[in-house]
Structure 1
Amino acid sequence: MSQLSASPSALSLTQSDWGWQGRTAGIANRTKHLLASGEHSDIQFVVGRYRGTIQTFRAHKFVLRIGSQVFDQLFYGEPPSPSHTNLEVPDATPEAFHNLLSYLYTDSVENLTSQNVFDTLSCASKYKIQLLFDLCSDFIIASLNMDNCLTMLEKAEELNAQRVIGKCLEMLDASSGEILQSDSFLTVKKTTLETVLQRSTLTADEYSVYKAAERWANHACQMDKMAPSSHNRRLKLGTALSLIRFPLMTDVQLADGPGETGLLTKDELCDIFRYKHATAKRCIPFRTTPRAAQTRRMAPYRAPQFSTRLSRTQPYTPRYSP
C-alpha cells in the first residue's frame, strides 16, 4: 500500500512555503483571491460591449454554478450545452458584473454605489440571485429622498423591484406636497405621472395636485418646443387629465386655476360646478371621492440603514421575488 511522504518538520518551513492558501484566513478571502487573480479559472466573460466600456473577467464555473441556477443550467444543464470557455455579456456594465461576481464569491459587494446599483440589480435579476437582488433593493431604499423618489420609482418599475416600488410609493404618499413641487417631478414619464395622479393616498390637497399636473404639461410642451396652449397642454396630459379630481377643489380654486388657464373647457367647468351645487348629481368624467390620506396625517418616511453584507445571525428566508 502506498504511503504519503512524511511532511517536513514545521520548524523547517518558512512562511513562503505555506502558499497563499495557508496564509489566507476564511473561505471568503480565499475565493476573493481566486476572483482577483484568475488562478485556475475555466470561464472568461467579455462584458459591456453594448454599454460602451469592455472589460474581461476570469471566473470559475463551480463557484458560479452554486450561486446561480442560470449559470448552473448554462454550464451543466440538460441537454448538455457546448463547452463554454468564453462568453459575452454585452448588456451589462463592467462595474455591475464585477459586483455580481464579488457577491457570488464573497457574499458581499464592496463597490455598490448609486451610479451602479440599478445595473447590479438588473444583473441579479437576469441571473436569478435573490440575495443580491434584495441587497440592491435595500441599498436603494436606504438612499430614497424626496428629490430622487420618482426617479427611483421609474427605474424600479422597469426591473419589477416590488419592494422598492412599495417604498417609493410610501414616500410619495407621506411627502406628496413636497414631491409634487420638486423639479424632479417635471421630468417624470407620463406613465409615472398617471401613477401619481391616480393614487387615493396622496396627502397633498387637490389644488396642489392640479398645479403639479399643469406644471408638468407646461414643461412637456417646452421640451418639445410647443407653445403651452390649452390644446397642447391637454394633448400632453391626455388621459392623465381625468385623474385630477377637480370636483374636490373649491369654487375659487376652480375659477382661478383651470378656469383661468383654460386647461378645462367651459363645458367641463359648467359640468363640475353643476355637480358641486345641484341637488341631482350628473355623471362627470372626473372622480369625486376624496383622497383618503388627505383626511389624516401621515408620519414622514424614514429610510432604513443599509449593510452591504448579508447578516449571518438569522437564516435567510426569501421574501420578495424579482
Structure 2
Amino acid sequence: MDSSGEVINKTPFGFLCNNEKFADIHFIVGAKNLQQRFPAHKAFLSARSPVFETMLFGSLAESKEVKVPDVEPSSFLTVLKFIYSNEAQIDSETVINTLYAANKYHLSVLEDHCIDFLKSVLSGKNAFLLLRQAQLFDKPELEKLCLDMIDKHATDAFTSDYFLEIDLNTLISVLERDTLEIFESKIFEGILSWSKTECVRQELSVTPENQQFVLGSALKLIRFSMMTLKEFINGPFQSKLLAEDEVDKLCKELALKTNICEKPRCCDSFHDEVRLFISRSFSVKRTYFFIGFLLHQIGNDGYDSKYNTKDKIVITLIDEENNIEYLLSQLINSDNFIKYDRPIMLTPDKNYKIKVQIAENVLPDEDYFFIISEGIFYRK
C-alpha cells in the first residue's frame, strides 16, 4: 500500500495524551521484547470507549497497570491520540493494526476512518490482504470492493504474495467467480504456487499427492477446457496434479479446438474468438476483451526482409482517453502470434491507438500493415 498519512480534526485536550500529568492508569503495550509504557486517564478513555469503561470502572476493573500484548505500540498511541484529541495519523504501515485496535475498543469513527483509508489504497497487488481484513472485521462494503478489484486486476492479485496467504475457503470462493479477467493458465499457476506454500504451512512435503490434498475441491474449479493444448501441456500436464485418464480426456478435447488463444475466465459465456483487422487508431462499437495480435509472416518468405524472427517486437495499445498504455514485448516467434498476459477490456466511445516497434525502431505508417495482420478478441 502506498499513501501518505491522513489526519482528522483536533480537540483541545491533546496535550494530555501520553502525558504523566494527572495520569491514573498505565498500559504496557506490545509483545515482550517490544513493549512500551503509556500513561493515560481513566475518565477520558471511558468517556470515548465502552470497552475501556468496563475495563477501568466495571466490577472486574483493572489495577493501575494494564497489559495489552495483542496491540502494536504505534497503533495504541494512535488510539490514544484519537481519544484525547480526535486526531488520527494513519498511514499504510499502521492502518491494519490500527483497525484491529479500533475494533477491539469499539471506536467506530476511527474504525470507519481506517476502512476509508484502505479503500483509497486498494489495488490488485494488495486486494487479497484487504479482503482478509474485510472478512475478519465484517466489513461487507470493503469485501465487495476487494472482490471487484480482484476481478478487474486478477493477474496482479493472483501473482501477489498476499494470494499465497489466503485460506482454502477464500481460495474456493474466488475460484467460483465467473468475472475474473484472467487466463485460466494464470489461475492454475497461482493455485500451483498456493498449494506448495500450503504444504509448507501444514508441514507436508511438496509432492503432487500432498498438493492435491491441500487443494481439495479447489482443483476441480479450474476450467481446463478454456486453455489451448499448448497451455495445458506446459502447465497442468507437467504438474502431475491430474489423474492420467483426466489428462487423456482433456488432451483429446483441446486438440480439437481451433482457437489460437485460450479464452479468459471472464469470457466463459462469450462466443469463440474473433479476429478483426485493426488500424493504428480505432474504436469499438461494443465491449470486447482484447487478447493479442496476429502478425504477418516475417523474415521467411514474408512481407519485409527488414524484419526477421530474431528481432524483438514491442506493440503498445494506448487508451488515449485515460492515458493508459498496455505493453507487449517479446521476440517474434514462429507462431507469429503474441499475447498479452491478461485480457484487456475495450469499451465503446473510447479511442485506442497502436504503436509498433521492432528492434527498438518505431515502425513508419507504410510498414504497419506489413506487420499487424489482425487483433484477437472475445465478445458476447
Corresponding position of 2:358: none
CA distance change for structure 1 residues 135 and 81 in 2, over 3 Å: closer, same or farther?
A: same
Contact persistence 2:178–2:266 (CA under 8 A):
yes
Corresponding position of 1:58: 39
CA distance change for structure 1 residues 257 and 225 in 2, over 3 Å: closer, same or farther?
A: same
CA distance change for structure 1 residues 269 and 166 in 2, over 3 Å: closer, same or farther?
A: same
Q: In 1, distance between residues paired with 2:36 and 2:117?
A: 25
Contact persistence 2:130–2:146 (CA under 8 A):
yes
Letter of the 2:180 partner, please give it: L
Describe the SS at the equivalent of 1:63.
Answer: helix
Corresponding position of 1:152: 130
Letter of the 2:215 partner, please give it: L
Q: In 2, distance between residues paired with 1:89 and 1:181?
A: 36
Describe the SS at the equivalent of 1:46.
Answer: strand
Describe the SS at the equivalent of 2:34.
Answer: coil
1:133, CA displacement in angstroms? 0.8
- TM norm structure 2: 0.57
Corresponding position of 1:30: 12
Asked which structure has the greater RCO (Cα within 8 Å, sep 6+), the reply is: 1
1:209, CA displacement in angstroms? 1.8
1:32, CA displacement in angstroms? 0.5
1:113, CA displacement in angstroms? 2.8
Corresponding position of 1:19: none
Corresponding position of 1:89: 68
1:243 and 2:221 are equivalent in the alignment:
yes
Describe the SS at the equivalent of 2:28.
Answer: strand
1:134, CA displacement in angstroms? 0.9
Identity over aligned residues, as a percent? 29
Q: In 1, distance between residues paired with 2:81 and 2:46?
A: 14
1:75 and 2:56 are equivalent in the alignment:
yes
Query: Of Structure 1 and Structure 2, which has the larger fraction of its residues in strand?
Result: 2
CA distance change for structure 1 residues 57 and 238 in 2, over 3 Å: closer, same or farther?
A: same
Q: In 2, distance between residues paired with 1:36 and 1:223?
A: 40
1:132, CA displacement in angstroms? 0.9
List alignment gaps of at least 5 residues for structure 1: 1-26, 278-289, 301-322
Aligned-residue CA RMSD in angstroms? 3.7
Corresponding position of 1:16: none
Contact persistence 1:35–1:59 (CA under 8 A):
yes
CA distance change for structure 1 residues 224 and 154 in 2, over 3 Å: closer, same or farther?
A: same
Aligned length: 259
Corresponding position of 2:29: 47
Among candidates 88, 107, 110, match of residue 86 of structure 2: 107
1:82, CA displacement in angstroms? 4.4
Q: In 2, distance between residues paired with 1:202 and 1:34?
A: 51
Matches within 5 A, 1:220-299: 229-250=207-228, 253-255=231-233, 257-269=235-247, 291=266
Describe the SS at the equivalent of 1:264.
Answer: coil
CA distance change for structure 1 residues 267 and 168 in 2, over 3 Å: closer, same or farther?
A: same
Query: Of Structure 1 and Structure 2, which has the larger fraction of its residues in helix?
Result: 1
Letter of the 2:15 partner, please give it: H
1:180 and 2:161 are equivalent in the alignment:
no
1:146, CA displacement in angstroms? 2.5
Letter of the 2:16 partner, please give it: L
Q: In 2, distance between residues paired with 1:128 and 1:236?
A: 37
1:228, CA displacement in angstroms? 5.7
Letter of the 1:35 partner, please give it: C
Corresponding position of 1:284: none
Corresponding position of 1:170: 148
Letter of the 2:221 partner, please give it: L
